[in-house]
Homo-oligomer: A and B are copies of this chain.
């Protein structure tokens, strides 16, 4: 299914399609045209048809896509059809909030490790997890074959921690710190910074 090179910008849109299709399925819909799907996602029908064409033929001219079939295919493509173990590094407010986040469980994500270096946090319980000390991080991640990590620690510690994570086998990092990480090319990094998103919107705010 993955013979062709798929641009990252296409891969980025697939989770949106999947989420929107899941929403449509919950609403009781069974089929959808590329245009109707595009309207919800905020793109064009042509874009959706082109993006999906990288992976095969999923729709029929005139009848559109079967929502369930497309969900199944997208889950396979994105490898969301299994559970991925994820480690949270940093057990401050944000790290604890994410560990408790209800939205992970049924979407392929199992937060299974939570680390901090603060003696006041190590040992406390967050949901079903006990905060572990970062000293055991590399070993724990290797033992549990964890491939993804979420960084919710102070920026100053981000690069050194990311280096340890990559050394322990982490292949993908969701970075909640403002730090720009320098990592090997094959490591996936996504950045979540509410400031950048707020700043993007400021551009459009009315003066007064």
Q: Report the minimal beta-carbon distance from A26 to chain B, rounded to whole angstroms.
A: 11
Q: Which residues of B contact A198 (CB under 8 A)?
A: 84, 86, 108-109, 148, 172, 174, 190
Interface residues on A, range: 35 or more
A25 beta carbon closer than 8 Å to chain B:
no
B40 touches A84 (CB 8 A): no
A204 beta carbon closer than 8 Å to chain B:
yes
Q: Which of A150-208 touch B at CB < 8 Å?
A: 150, 171-172, 174, 178, 180, 188, 190, 192-208
Q: Which residues of B contact A107 (CB under 8 A)?
A: 195, 199
A53 beta carbon closer than 8 Å to chain B:
no
Q: Given A20-B180, A174-B194, A195-B103, do A200 and B109 touch, yes or no (CB 8 Å)?
A: no
Q: How many copies does the complex hold?
A: 2
Q: Which residues of B contact A194 (CB under 8 A)?
A: 98, 101, 103-104, 150, 174, 192
B93 touches A200 (CB 8 A): no
Out of B23, B80, B92, B196, name the residue touching A15 (CB < 8 Å): B196
A78 beta carbon closer than 8 Å to chain B:
yes
Out of B19, B180, B193, name the residue touching A178 (CB < 8 Å): B19
Q: Which of A34-91 touch B at CB < 8 Å?
A: 40, 77-80, 84, 86
B200 touches A14 (CB 8 A): yes
Q: Which residues of B contact A4 (CB under 8 A)?
A: none
Proximity bits, A2-39, B CB within 8 Å = 1, else 0: 00000000011011101110010000000000000000
Top 4 A-B pairs, shortest CB-CB distance:
A93-B97, A172-B201, A15-B199, A190-B197
| Interfacial residues, chain A to chain B (CB-CB below 8 A) | 11-12, 14-16, 18-20, 23, 40, 77-80, 84, 86, 92-94, 96-98, 100-101, 103-104, 107-109, 145, 147-148, 150, 171-172, 174, 178, 180, 188, 190, 192-208
